[in-house]
Amino acid sequence: MFKKVLPLSAILSLRFLGLFLVLPVLSLYAMDMKGSTPLLVGIIVGGYALTQAIFQVPFGTMSDKIGRKVTLLIGLVIFLVGSIICAMSDNIYLLMLGRFLQGAGAIGSVITAMISDLVPENVRGHAMAIMGGTIALSFALAMGLGPVIGAHYGVSTLFWMTGVFALIAIVLLFTKVPTPPKIKHIYHNTTKTSDILKDPNLLSMIIINAMQKGLMTMAFVLIPIILTSNEFGWEKAELWKAYLPAMIAGLVAMGPAAVFGEKHNKPKQIFLLSITLFIISFSLMGFASSSVMFVIGVVSFFIGFNMMEPLVQSMISKFAKVHQKGAALGIGNSAAYFATFLGGTFAGMMLDISDRAMIGATMAIMAFIWLLWTLRLDNPKRYAHLFVPISEVDMKKLEDLEHEHIAEWYINESEEVVAVKYQKEEMDEEAIKASILKN
């Protein structure tokens, strides 16, 4: 599994590393450009997410028709072109165009689909956790490297680095990623968006994903601008003093959180703790009287973000039924990207009309409401998978298979097996076999 998942995760992580590298300093860089306003700066910080949200479904559909690898190549080339435009931009509108193009290469859904093609259902949740973990690692590394490189070599250098990452990803695509088989899954049900949104756990996870990303963009608009304002008087080259401890703390917290959430099946507790850290973070950012307390708020934010990140995709995958996984992940990612764009835009607007205390209080209140909503989330049940060759199964018996401890069953035509997802602690595997096998 690792040989299949790691190259794809590396491609996605290189893309996110490039996007994340500029986030700690992009708002300051954009503010110095001709024609900039706080609103336009907010749009630029989150702009990539708008086109990312728009093109998620078209790229996924295109990958079904022309193939995953070709679609990934197209997305990476668009991302490369956008990065070059950003690096060469000398005005706010050209930078905005580049950011929109960076997001237009929306390959996230394609990579998720490719992992689904290559990885068996019973370990797919683990694969999603690996993917989430590599993205979180990219985020943490970018927070430490971005401010330092940007201060010494300029933000345009960060965009050139992003272009290099895109080229490396293209090389990985054609040297390390296996070509997925063309498969077709036939299930006993059809996917309805309304069914996904009616599931309280899936809805809560979609909201968690969206709120985490939206508040992240707001933080990245505000942190560098506030620290370099007259109130605290930091120089741009000093921003690493805030981001480096945040990166280290986030990395340290990420591992135990992932283990506790995945291995011990306590993701709800991790999410609640993370949101609590968000509330503390925004309260400190809004009301801290010293830069030291403000930086403690920044560290709290990154700890909360990194604790949450490795678990989000995995939990959506676990809560969704097999015929819903692609749609649920697509809805969750689109919601997150729209929230990312709205977060940046909202932060820019708030800078125009509010002071720091009002902004911090508003974000803390939003996080508190989010905390109350997340209390309704359940931890996922532990399921096992039984795989039986189609040739041994009585289809009439299978169609009549109903039990409170059986989550679902489906037919995988490509592998010619029937899969039954059940609660191992409550049911015996031999009893399930006896109820569906031919006499």
CB of 18 closer than 8 Å to CB of 165: yes
Residue 92 has pLDDT above 90, yes or no: yes
Q: Where in the chain is the domain with CATH 1.20.1250.20?
A: 2-239+314-374
Count of Cβ atoms closer than 10 Å to residue 207 Cβ: 18
Residue 185 has pLDDT above 50, yes or no: no
pLDDT digit string, tens, across residues 403-413: 777 777 778 77
Rounded Cα–Cα distance for residues 23 and 344 (Å): 11
Rounded Cα–Cα distance for residues 152 and 225 (Å): 18
Mean pLDDT of 187-203: 74
- Burial bucket for residue 211 (CB in 10 Å: 0-12, 13-18, 19+): buried
- Reduced to 3 states (helix: H, G, I; strand: E, B; else coil), residue 330 is helix
Residue 205 confidence (pLDDT): 94
Residue 152 has pLDDT above 90, yes or no: no
Residue 191 has pLDDT above 60, yes or no: no
Residue 432 has pLDDT above 90, yes or no: no
Rounded Cα–Cα distance for residues 439 and 436 (Å): 9
Residue 187 confidence (pLDDT): 42
Residue 122 confidence (pLDDT): 58
Element (H, E) at 98: helix 92-104
Maximum CA pair distance of the chain? 81
Tell which CATH classification among 1.20.1250.20, 2.40.70.10, 3.30.70.260, 1.25.40.420 matches the domain 2-239+314-374: 1.20.1250.20
* 66, 249, 279, 300 from 368: Cα distances, Å: 45, 23, 6, 15
Mean pLDDT of 244-267: 88
Residue 124 confidence (pLDDT): 64
E strands of 115-230, at which residues? 185-187
Nearest CA among 332, 340, 341 for reference residue 197: 332
Mean pLDDT of 212-225: 93
Amino acid at 169: A
CB of 127 closer than 8 Å to CB of 119: yes
Residue 182 has pLDDT above 90, yes or no: no
Mean pLDDT of 31-36: 89
Helix and strand tally (H, E) in the chain? 16, 4
Rounded Cα–Cα distance for residues 423 and 405 (Å): 6
Residue 168 has pLDDT above 80, yes or no: yes
DSSP 208-264: HHHHHHHHHHHHHHHHHHHHTSTTT---GGGTHHHHHHHHHHHHHHHHHHHHHHHTS
Q: For the chain, give the mean pLDDT.
A: 87
Rounded Cα–Cα distance for residues 34 and 16 (Å): 27
pLDDT-derived band of residue 148, with 50, 70 and 90 as boundaries?
confident
Residue 215 has pLDDT above 90, yes or no: yes
Percent of the chain whose pLDDT exceeds 90: 46
Element (H, E) at 417: strand 417-422
Amino acid at 19: L
**The pTM of the whole model exceeds 0.75:** yes
Mean pLDDT of 413-436: 80
Which is more confident, 372 or 118? 372
pLDDT digit string, tens, across residues 330-362: 788 889 989 999 999 999 999 888 899 999 999
